[in-house]
Amino acid sequence: MAINLKIEIFNISAFPVLLEYGIIPGMVRSSRRAKAAWALAAFAFGLFLPCPGVDEAALAKAKEVLSELTLDQKVRLCAGSGTMTLPAFEGTQIDREWQFTLSSRTIKPDVDRWSFKCAGTNETDAAIVLPSLGALAATWNTELAAEYGHVMGEQARSRGKDMVLGPAVNIMRNPLAGRNWETFGEDPHLSSKMAVAWIRALQSHDVAACVKHFCLNSQELGKYENEPVVDERALNEIYLAPFRAAVKDGGVWGVMTAHNRFQRLACSENPYLLRGILRARWGFEGMVVSGWGAVSSTVEAALAGTDVEMNTGADIRHYVNPKTGEAPLASAVAELSVPPSCIEDKARRILYTMARTKFFSPDKRAKGERLTEKHRKTALQVAEEGIVLLKNANAVLPLDAKGMKKILVVGDLAASEEVREGAESPEGKPFYQSTPQTGLVEYFSVRDAEIVRASFDSLPTPEEAATADAVLVFTGFELGHEPGKEGSGNDRADMRLPAGTDEAVREVLSWQHPRTVVVNRSGGPVELPWIEECPALVQIPYLGQEAGRALVNMLFGETTPSGKLPWTWPKRFADTPVAAEGAYGAERSTYREGIYVGYRWYDKEKIPPLFPFAHGLSYTKFEYDVDKAAVATLADGAGWTVSVPVKNIGERPGKETVQIYAAYPNSRVTRCVKDLKGFAKTKLLAPGESETLTVSISPRNLAYWDSFASAFRLDAGEYELRIGSSALDLRGKAKITVPKDYVFKD
């Protein structure tokens, strides 16, 4: 009763201040009793919050269905009925299970109720496997991100799935992190823009997106026990930014918690994150789903704001165990550890999310489709635009297929199928997969050329290699959760390629074949000790089922590469802030670099990277007419627009991405040397063709986090906008004047 008394007298007006300054999170550490008091106070405060942007019809429907349920049914709704489902209740409007699907790039085959093992084997499980989100980020194309989201939404609706567990918007801080491949890279602005386009498109098909993993999930090492330590400014400016964009700009309907800890509490049991930032500050009204296995305490997770506990089937055990029927959450309610009103609140949010997808009106839902030619073309286009040409000495690429009789392909990854069973999130079931090997065979089937394969363990002699018209070398990784692969469960041990790769590549390069191309597949940077001897280097993220076709089209000039790195490529791991600051461990990772993540770090420390952020070459050349670039001030303090004329002055059609970076020469606080504030990609420009790209920048986009005021602030004064093709290829700049101070509370 003492706790209830504290709730009644709690000073609601002071709550946001205590929350923002971290006073309450600090109190959480003191004792278990303090945790409970804080969590209940947070819960009580949440009941008083306004709900901006509420779908009134969906809310009314949620309340109607809620009134039909017993308390026991409401409790059971708060936990999975299996690995990928929420329960149905006979005699209610929840007449079928709610269906999750795990991957951000395909609709995975159905899984067994009690494990992640695929249960379906028939062709009804098949779906287009798109490139990874890392590949999508490399396109720098928000229109293409929307097309990607539409494919995911249409396929999910066709397969009867209600919520896609994605996109992942965690910032790529550590180049070794196993799940870098399924994020949008190192920059919060790029991540935000791509994620918002993806979410809006997906949800237009009556399928909920569930942005993940909230938050600071920047490594797999120490997945459950790791506690990132980050200052308040970096937290708000860098790591929370894409989540805020997903909620405020994308209108996302679901949020998944991270597995790691923050301020000594698991993210699924962290009221500061869930009730404070997510709900109180951002006004999120959707469903909060735990990371699978991320709940360890019934009461603390329930009070902190996790609506749904998920895990692999029978391992769901803190709210309701679907296999045994045991319900610790119901016991907690009976013991008054969790108030019944908390269960009402959770069930209402779950039902509200269901209602937004028209779950209770199946005849009104979008119909969906899959395995269509339109979907395949989108997968191919994303793959083509996601390929990054890193180096092209002496214009080795594109290769001329005319007259070619023999192509030597070195490395087993050329024939490796990227999508395979048992790989958890990378898993999928396409009707076919185009590998580089099959892509080459298909391309040369009408050109009468021989494709000769060799592994790193059995290289041909230089004399045999000299008879080839081109030598293609394939390096990199496979996806999976086993050590030595990229995926959930493990980080890479170092930034080196798999054992034996560098030695084999050096041997091939020693042949000095003039048309040698190295193709690297990875979700993040790797050390390349042989880069100086390499004539041409191509980076392919995980490109999905059309990987081979996309790559072959690029190598032989059927398409012009337009991808740009969504992360910085350092020369060696020692150059990274993670290594330099000694801030990487299983139990604790201290983000000592603060706001200097990615290219910001290399700018600040004046460390030249191997390839800068946003680097990517083309087969053609683009001219920026910076003399005609124009900056316009929008009315009513809405911000500015930057217009940049771009002309294709080369001999091939191509696309170019223009980036706008802000610099702060007269800032009253410490700022980055520059950071990305806008970008735009041209259409396919024919030789000699021009297009003027316009980028909008708002005052909030230029703001920094003021920890004293617990708000974003933009100071009056002069700022620079720098126009570039990459973080180190800056071609012009303009000054803007901010006439007054701005403060943004959210």
DSSP string, 263-302: TTEEGGG-HIIIIIIIIIIT---SEEE--TT----HHHHH
Our separate counts of H helices and E strands in the chain read 22, 27
Question: Which tokens go with 285?
Answer: 């009204």
Q: What is the DSSP string of 219-251?
A: -STTTTT-EEE--HHHIIIIISHHHHHHHHTT-
The token duo for 635 is 């009315």
Q: Where does the pLDDT of residue 14 fall: very low under 50, low under 70, confident under 90, or very high at 90 and above?
A: very low
492 and 180 Cβ atoms separated by less than 8 Å:
no
717's CB contacts (< 8 A; 6+ apart) are 666, 667, 668, 737, 738
What span, in angstroms and rounded, lies between the C-alpha atoms of 733 and 238? 24
Whole-number Å distance between alpha carbons of 722 and 738: 16
Q: Give the residues across from 131 on adjacent strands.
A: none
Model confidence at 8: pLDDT above 50: no
Cβ-in-10-Å burial (0-12, 13-18, 19+) of 363 comes to exposed
Confidence band for 366, pLDDT divided at 50, 70 and 90: very high
Burial 286-311 (b: 16+ CB within 10 A, else e): bbbbbbbbbbebbbbbbbbbbbbbbb
Q: Return d(Cα 298, Cα 139) in angstroms, integer.
A: 42
According to the model, what pLDDT value does residue 481 have? 81
Query: What mean pLDDT value characterizes the chain?
Result: 91
Residues near 50 by beta carbon (within 8 Å), at least 6 away in sequence: 283
Which residue has 């069930």 as its token pair?
347
Helices 547-555, 436-443: axis angle to 10 degrees equals: 60
Mean pLDDT of 608-636: 96
pLDDT-above-70 percentage for the chain: 92
- Residue 73 clears pLDDT 90, i.e. is over it: yes
Who's near 541: CB < 8 A, 6+ residues apart? Answer: 131, 132, 134, 135, 138, 181, 386, 521, 522, 523
Token readout for 641 is 């627009």
What percentage of the chain exceeds 90 in pLDDT?
A: 84
pLDDT at 433 over 50: yes
Give me the residues paired with residue 576 across strands: none
pTM: 0.93
Of 32-46, 58-72, 274-288, 695-709, least confident by mean pLDDT is: 32-46
User: What pLDDT does residue 675 have?
Assistant: 97
Phi/psi of residue 126, nearest 5 degrees? -70, 150
pLDDT tens sequence across 533-580? 999 999 999 999 999 999 999 999 999 999 999 999 999 999 999 998
Lowest mean pLDDT among 232-246, 337-351, 583-597: 583-597
Give the ranges where 271-403 is alpha helix by DSSP (H).
Answer: 271, 298-304, 328-334, 340-356, 373-386
Which has the closest alpha carbon to 429: 111, 198, 169? 111
The full DSSP string for 177-219 is: -TTGGGS--S-HHHHHHHHHHHHHHHHTTT-EEEEEEETT---
| Half-sphere CA count of 475, side-chain side, radius 13 A | 28
- Residue 166 phi/psi, 5-degree rounding, is 180, 175
Distance CA 417, CA 436 (A): 9
Residue 122 has pLDDT above 90, yes or no: no
pLDDT at residue 125 greater than cutoff 80: yes
Select the more confidently predicted residue: 125 or 46. 125
Residue that has been written with the tokens 């890392």 in this structure: 134
* CA 149 and chain centroid, separation: 13
Residue 3 confidence (pLDDT):
28
Please give the residue that has the higher pLDDT: either 341 or 121. Answer: 341
Tell me the two tokens of residue 330. Answer: 């119901």
Selection from 219, 196, 245, 185 nearest residue 616 by Cα: 185
393, exposed or middle or buried, with CB in 10 Å at 0-12, 13-18, 19+?
exposed
Domains and CATH numbers, the chain: 379-605 (3.40.50.1700), 622-744 (2.60.40.10)
Where does the pLDDT of residue 120 fall: very low under 50, low under 70, confident under 90, or very high at 90 and above? low
The structure tokens listed for 716 are 């009056």
Contact assessment for residue 284 and residue 278, using Cβ atoms and an 8 Å cutoff: yes
Reply yes or no on whether the pLDDT at 165 is more than 70: yes
**Cα–Cα dist 49/60, whole Å:** 18
- 76-85, 444-453, 480-489, 734-743: least confidently modelled range: 480-489
Buried b / exposed e over 613-651, threshold 16 CB at 10 Å, is bbbbbbbbebebeeeebeeeeeeeeebbebebbbbbebe
The reported pLDDT for the residue numbered 424 is: 63
Average pLDDT over residues 716-741: 96
Whole-angstrom Cα distance, residue 192 to residue 566?
A: 12
More confident residue, 383 or 430: 383
Q: Which residue has the tokens 């999130």?
A: 425
pLDDT band per the 50, 70, 90 thresholds, residue 53: confident
- Cα dist from 300 to 202, 254, 588, 644, whole Å: 32, 20, 22, 52
Mean pLDDT of the region 117-138: 86
Closest CA to 589 of 156, 175, 225: 225
When pLDDT is cut at 50, 70 and 90, the band that residue 586 belongs to is confident
Tell me the torsion sign for CA atoms 342, 226, 420, 437. positive
